[in-house]
Each structure stands twice: as structure tokens, then as C-alpha cells.
Structure 1
């Protein structure tokens, strides 16, 4: 587990604080985090809204354990539950605030955002609530040569463009209150932080062939999508009386 990351994605603390301020202004009483990981943003919302209670669902026990420890250290353990379960057909909504950061694949069978996933988010939020959707987008369409250098089996269909993602959100019962995208420095902090501990270890243990090959492979993939793959953060307002 990396010790260098606050968030498991290209999200700076400064941006997170601004987002939390916007979301907390709606005074949510219930917060649901889909694919929560260690739930740093969830915990920050609970700190900002003392009357709120939160639920995070994920299948990664290591991340969930980190979230529980962090909640305990911050005096939030009595107001949040980190649950090892699938988000598909979850019974924990509707909530006043739903967080879904890089996790729409937990709501459908596809890796790319789908109408099914966005409509699930609409059903999981109360009519007066908000959804924060964090989703990978193409900042520009990748070429076949660029795709070949990315993750195994990378295809243009793996992500939408920002306009297409916004259109999908609107078609699925939302209006976009706020649209923002991660900066290149946020991406660099995230990607560097993912590997930094292992890179330092490898420098002291240069004969670890498997680790070296894995790190070199990831760096090559990152260089292939750097400046091409983006991350959108959409604050979405549910349309009243919407039905799928």
C-alpha cells in the first residue's frame, strides 16, 4: 500500500476542499460513497457537516481497513460505516449526497460509464441531493499508436469525452451544477505517488526483477496516456420527479 497518496486519483487537497465546501453547503444528512476505497473525501464531508452520517462500500478490504483506521483517528468512527460489499443493487440509498469517484463500473457490467450506471446514481440520490461523479475522460481522442502503449487492450471506447459524459448525465436525470477537470500537476502527483515508495525500495534492491519490470511497464503506460486521459469531476443536481 502506498503511503504517498491522500486520494486514490488525480485530486489535489486544494480542489478537494473546494468540492467539499460546495457539497457541504447543501447540508446532507446521509452520504453514500460508491467504490469508496479508503474514503478520504467521504471523511472530509463528514468533518464539514457534523450532523451527517456516511456509508462507504467497496470490495477492497485493505482500503476499507485504512478508511476505518482514519475514521477512528479523526473521531468519526461512530458516524461512518465502511462495508465490504458490492454496490450493485445496494440498499443503502437514496442518500442526500452520493460520491462515485472512478467507480461507475461498480454499477454496471461495463468499464465505460453507461446509461445504466448513471441511472443507478439517480436512483441512489434524494431529489434534493447531489452526486459527485469523478470519471476518466479523453482530453483528446487517442491515436491507435497511443492506445497500443496504454493498458492491455486499451480502446477508444474505454472512456467518453467530457461533452459526451455531460450529455449522458443530462440524459440520465441530472443537471450539471459544476464541471471541472484534473490538471496535469494533479495527474503527476497521483501517478508519481502511486509508484514512489516502490521506486525508492527498488533503488536499494536493484536485483528485484519482477518489481522493476512492473514499475517500468506502468511508467511506459503512463507516458502513453499522459496529457490524453483526463479526469472530470461533475457536481450533479437530480432533476425532480425524474423516472428512467
Structure 2
């Protein structure tokens, strides 16, 4: 089973691909949008849920999304069409780290996609290239909420604790103006939704050739989460403004 198909099934009941509930998403977008006719860019937009929500909430906003997955972009097109906002959305099939554009954006998003850029600061550097004067960045990434095991570090990479994460962002020339630390409920809800949706689909489709792969992926992910990183992993989503430059 290919990765796009797994992602589509796993996020069927949690279309925001991050441990954030609807209220948190609403507050973050409200903090990020500072003008009615804002231009919004999502670097690594996946199925476009952030963009569809911001376009639905703000009728004069225009948005663009970038992703390497054409199936994900097609889901974004379908979602935008279903909400009646497709005329204000432009999607680019491209590597978000290499994407260029002539016009700047008032809000640049990248949530849970730092791996595509090589890390948190590299993601911020990419966002800065697209940011209009007085613009804002909405970024989400993981941190260590407790001492991780070596296995967790091997799996999730060189994260730091929350104070160090914020210090790194500030020292890189950014000022946090809003932040949301995902609650244990949000973290668990996201993981249970991810694994449960995938496993449920597999059990509902016993004759589908992809069923065994879907069930195996759900089982492997649940085991890794519960046994390797659940107690140590946290997630922070920030609204940032450039301090310099």
C-alpha cells in the first residue's frame, strides 16, 4: 500500500494532520490572519485542510498550497470544490523546500512538515522567503516533553525540549506572538484516530488486497507510539513574526 493511500485512510476522521482540535485550529488561524484580503501559503499542504478552513472562514482571503503528492493535492481540490472555495485556491505540485513565487504572502503555514525542509529552522528560513512585510508564520513541530529513549530519538530525530525549542526560534530572529501546546487529549486523539481509522478500514474491507498492509501499518504505528515515544513527545504550534529582516 502506497504512502498516499495510507495517509488518506488514516486521516479520514482527523483531516488536520497534526494533534490539534478544531478550537485550536480556529484560534491559530484567527491569530494568523490580520487582514481581510490576506494571501496565505501552506508549504507542505497535504490534503489542504488548513487552506480550505481559512478560505471558508475568510471570504476575501486567497490561498496557495504546495506539496509533492499529487493525490494529496487532488484531495485538496475536491475538498475546496465541496466547500465552494476552489476559485480562491491555487495548488502547486512541487517540492515545498524549492518552491518560488513572485508575490509575498501575509501568512505562511507549515505544520508538521519540518522533515521536508531538514528541520525547524530550515522550515522557518523557507517561510521567511515568502513572507510579506509585517507578515506572520504559523508553524507546528514536535519537541521533547520528557527525556526520550534512544529509540525515540532514532525515530523522531533531533528534537529539543520546549524552552530550548523556543530559544532557538527567538535566536533565529523570530518573535512568538501566540502559541498552542497540544494537550494530552489532542495528542492521544490524533494517534488513536490515525491508527483506528486505518485499522477499521482494513477490517471493513477483508477482501481488498490493501487490507493486510493497512492493518499492519496501523499496528506498527500504534506500537511505536505507545511503546517508544508517547510519554516523551509534545507538539507546539506557533504564530511568529520576524524580529529582524
TM-score past 0.5 threshold? yes
1:31-57: CA deviations, max 9, x gaps?
Answer: 110000112112222223222211100
| Correspondent of 2:32 among 23, 27, 31 | 23
Distance in 1, matches of 2:218 and 2:84, equals 37
- Deviation, 1:209, is 5.4
1:136-175: CA deviations, max 9, x gaps?
Answer: 111122033xx2xx49x426x4312222221222222210
1:182-207: CA deviations, max 9, x gaps?
Answer: 1111112211221223322444649x
Structure 1 residue 225 corresponds to structure 2 residue 229: yes
Aligned residues of 1:138 and 1:159 also touching (Cα < 8 A): yes
Structure 2 stretches of 5 or more lacking a match?
1-7
Residue 121 of structure 1 is matched in structure 2 by: 127
| Correspondent of 1:140 among 117, 142, 146 | 146
Distance in 1, matches of 2:163 and 2:172, equals 14
Aligned residues of 2:40 and 2:63 also touching (Cα < 8 A): yes
Distance in 2, matches of 1:4 and 1:137, equals 25
- Deviation, 1:64, is 1.1
- TM norm structure 1: 0.85
Residue 159 of structure 1 is matched in structure 2 by: 159
Structure 1 residue 33 corresponds to structure 2 residue 37: no
Distance in 1, matches of 2:86 and 2:163, equals 39
Counterparts in 2 of 1:163 and 1:94: CA distance versus 1, 3 Å: farther
- TM norm structure 2: 0.84
Aligned residues of 2:44 and 2:67 also touching (Cα < 8 A): yes
- Deviation, 1:65, is 1.0
Distance in 2, matches of 1:236 and 1:35, equals 18
Residue 3 of structure 2 is matched in structure 1 by: none
Aligned residues of 1:38 and 1:63 also touching (Cα < 8 A): yes
